[in-house]
Amino acid sequence: MNPAIMIRRLSKTYATGWHRSSVVAVSDISLEVGRGEAFGFIGPNGAGKSTTIRILMGLSVPSDGAAELFGTNVRDPKARLGIGYVPESPYLYDYMTPREILDMSLRMHRHRPDDRARHIGAWLERLGLSAVMNSSIRSFSKGMLQRVAIAQALVIQPRLLVLDEPLSGLDPIGRMDVVELLAEYKRDGGTLFFTSHVLHDVERLADRFGLIHKGSLRSVRSPAELVGDDDVVLIRSAGAVEVPGMVVDGSNRWIGSFCRSEVWSQLDALRLANHSVIEIKPSLSLEAAFLKIVGKQT
């Protein structure tokens, strides 16, 4: 049985500038995502996450390598039948209503529920959109547009759900609702491939994590493998100057992960740099693995 996603030595290079210099967005990525698996694809901005997803969705052509969805090459439009997709910044026809958008999604994917109107209504209610189901979306907030985009991806009861930053623009309640919805989709056997900057939610949902940095896939791990890592401590601090081992975490904010044996020496370095310590906590987590890999590359 073919995996849900198969990526073989995938690369994407963009030509830029007058002299046609090139920028490598994705470099020699190989990856498999099994049916029924939830896979979190994480990395810093510009790492290649969205480029990889655009190739999977047929919106960009790879420079080298190939990708398949359920055994069908992504260059074939048939590969995307029954695939729910939500981009990072969804574009929806603003003259349409949520009900019309969900109906259009059903028709495009040739999904025929027994009671079309009831099926659409149930998903709109699930995403908190019942009261505005017949309203033009042009006046919707970013969070409401995100809910509509998620609803149109789920209404087709997809065999694979591909989400690029699905929690973007949602308030805390909306984020909690969507995470619960995705957890339910996963429990029911759905296959999930998603990116998110909210690493706590990635840890909660994903069976495995792919860590991508500067276009290259640096590591693929399961939660059990993360727990098997060296015991590390996460330190957050505030200060005006950079301290070795710390990376930027906002304006004059810094974060770093260290082995327990290194903690006291790192605290001494922060004290000498006039940093104030915001947080110290044990961190056998995705956040620590992410920082460790990104730190090595920077």
Cβ 85 vs Cβ 159: under 8 Å: no
Q: Helix, strand, or coil here: 217?
A: strand
Q: How confident is the model at residue 20 (pLDDT cuts 50, 70, 90)?
A: low
Of 291, 197, 277, which is closest to residue 245 (Cα–Cα)? 291
What pLDDT shows up at residue 244? 92
- Mean pLDDT value across residues 1-13: 95
Q: 21 is written with which tokens?
A: 């210099």
| Residue of 215, 174, 212 whose CA lies nearest to 195 | 212
Residue 228, both tokens: 């098997």
Q: Which of 1-10, 80-89, 164-173, 184-193 has the lowest mean pLDDT?
A: 164-173
Q: What is the pLDDT of residue 89?
A: 87
Query: What pLDDT score does 288 carry?
Result: 65
- The reported pLDDT for the residue numbered 174 is 85
Query: Measuring CA to CA, how many Å separate 132 from each of 98, 115, 259?
Result: 7, 21, 52
Q: Which two tokens stand for residue 61?
A: 């052509």
- Specify the pLDDT at position 219: 84
**Helix (H/G/I), strand (E/B), else coil: 220:** strand
Taken in order 233, 239, 240, 243, the sign of the CA dihedral is negative
The overall pTM is greater than 0.75: yes
pLDDT class of 229 with cuts at 50, 70, 90:
low
Least confidently predicted of 62-66, 99-103, 221-225: 221-225
User: 34: Cβ–Cβ under 8 A, 6 or more apart, which residues?
Assistant: 3, 4, 191
Give me the percent of the chain exceeding a pLDDT of 90.
63
**Residue 40 banded pLDDT, cuts 50, 70, 90:** very high
Q: How far is it, in rounded angstroms, from Cα 216 to Cα 11?
A: 9
Q: In the prediction, which pLDDT does 189 show?
A: 92
pLDDT, one tens digit per residue, over 68-123 is 999 999 999 999 999 999 998 888 999 999 999 999 999 999 999 999 999 999 99
Whole-number mean pLDDT of the chain?
A: 89
At residue 293, does pLDDT exceed 70?
no
More confident residue, 44 or 229: 44
Cβ within 8 Å of residue 176, ≥6 positions away: none
Nearest CA to 10 out of 223, 24, 118, 19 is that of: 24
* pLDDT tens for each residue of 248-273: 887 889 998 888 888 999 999 999 99
Residue, of 13 and 291, whose pLDDT is higher: 13
In the chain, the domains with their CATH numbers are 5-220 (3.40.50.300), 229-297 (no CATH)
pLDDT computed for residue 68 by the predictor: 97
